[in-house]
Homo-oligomer: A and B are copies of this chain.
Amino acid sequence: MDIPVLADVISARQRVAPYIHRTPVLTSTLVDKIAGCKLFLKCENFQKSGAFKYRGATNAILTLGEEARQRGVITHSSGNHAGALSRAAVSRGVRAMIVMPHNAPAIKRRAVEDYGAEITFCEPTLASREETAAELVATTGGTLVHAYDNFFVIAGQGTAAIELMEDVDNLDILVAPVGGGGLLSGTITAVRGLKPGITVIGAEPAGADDARRSFLLDDLIPSVNPDTIADGLRTSLSERTFSIIKGGADDIVTVSEEMIKDSMLLVWERMKIVIEASSATAIAAVREHPSLFSGKRTGVIITGGNVDLKSLPF
């Protein structure tokens, strides 16, 4: 099981820099007042494909050998990773094959199609997704690029934290939402290597708290029947991300659905930016755990802005 170290994140950063946006870090005195600390929002909602996932996907594409490039890449996802991998692959001339449940929302299918990827539909179960992807790998010889259980994807996600630490001095804490753990793992790798004094916190919906329970019990517990509007955070950790998180996170905290929705509304209203529920989970963590964050210089990775604007939770 390959685990990236700081040097891999730094290599990823040099590799992806020409192809990604260096996203801005936004602040708001009004939101700070409500949050009770000084927030620095690393705005990956402005990243290509609308999410930080473009970093890891781009790193994975750029590290393919020539033969692998010819055969293309495969993943199973109906979320941001599907869109990110599609755009990253197709824009570099690589074929992208996406496995997606047949009941995936039309808006997500269209996004992937618009980027020029090919969709293979499957049943809406993890088993069917994995099986269909494995078949595609067998028949096409393509490379599976998992959404988070992938060395290069994790290293790529860590590049957001590097940029944030370059742009903001003296951060006390850094918060990242945790679903499959790719972003948190990359963040831990970057922070522990560069500025080990910064506290790293994972934020998770209470209705999908498998990472917190795994972290506390020191045993990988899968996500079963997750119940949260933060659709990017319903997945389970992998052995790889779990091993990085248990070794490097300071804590994983959970938040209520109400606070997620209210934090989403807060940021839209006060900062005029569109962030998705998964991102709001990190803001909610700051608001629900004042003992951890009060008065601290807190970096928050805003994971993305891909929201179905015609069906909002508020």
Contact = CB atoms under 8 A, between A and B. Distances in A.
* Copies of this chain in its oligomeric complex: 2
Contacts of A265: 309
Closest 6 CB pairs of A and B: A272-B305, A272-B274, A45-B272, A268-B274, A268-B309, A273-B273
21 contacts: A24-B24, A45-B272, A46-B271, A46-B272, A50-B272, A265-B309, A268-B274, A268-B309, A269-B274, A269-B309, A272-B273, A272-B274, A272-B275, A272-B305, A273-B273, A273-B274, A274-B274, A309-B312, A309-B314, A310-B314, A312-B312
Interface in A87-142: none
Interface in A264-303: 265, 268-269, 271-275
Interface of A: 24, 45-46, 50, 265, 268-269, 271-275, 305, 309-310, 312, 314
Given A268-B274, A272-B273, A312-B312, 17 more contacts: A24-B24, A45-B272, A46-B271, A46-B272, A50-B272, A265-B309, A268-B309, A269-B274, A269-B309, A272-B274, A272-B275, A273-B273, A273-B274, A274-B274, A309-B312, A309-B314, A310-B314
Nearest to A267: B274
A217 B305 CA distance: 45
A24 B27 CA distance: 13
Contacts of A45: 272
Contacts of A309: 265, 268-269, 312, 314
A91 to B, nearest CB: 11
A311 to B, nearest CB: 11
A50 B271 CA distance: 8
A42 to B, nearest CB: 14
A243 to B, nearest CB: 33
A314 B308 CA distance: 11
Nearest to A46: B272
A105 to B, nearest CB: 14
Between A272, A274, A312, the greatest number of chain B beta carbons within 10 A of the residue's beta carbon is seen for A272
A312 B269 CA distance: 13
Contacts of A314: 309-310
Contacts of A271: 46
Contacts of A269: 274, 309
Contacts of A275: 272
A132 B273 CA distance: 37
Nearest to A264: B309
A140 to B, nearest CB: 29
A2 B269 CA distance: 37
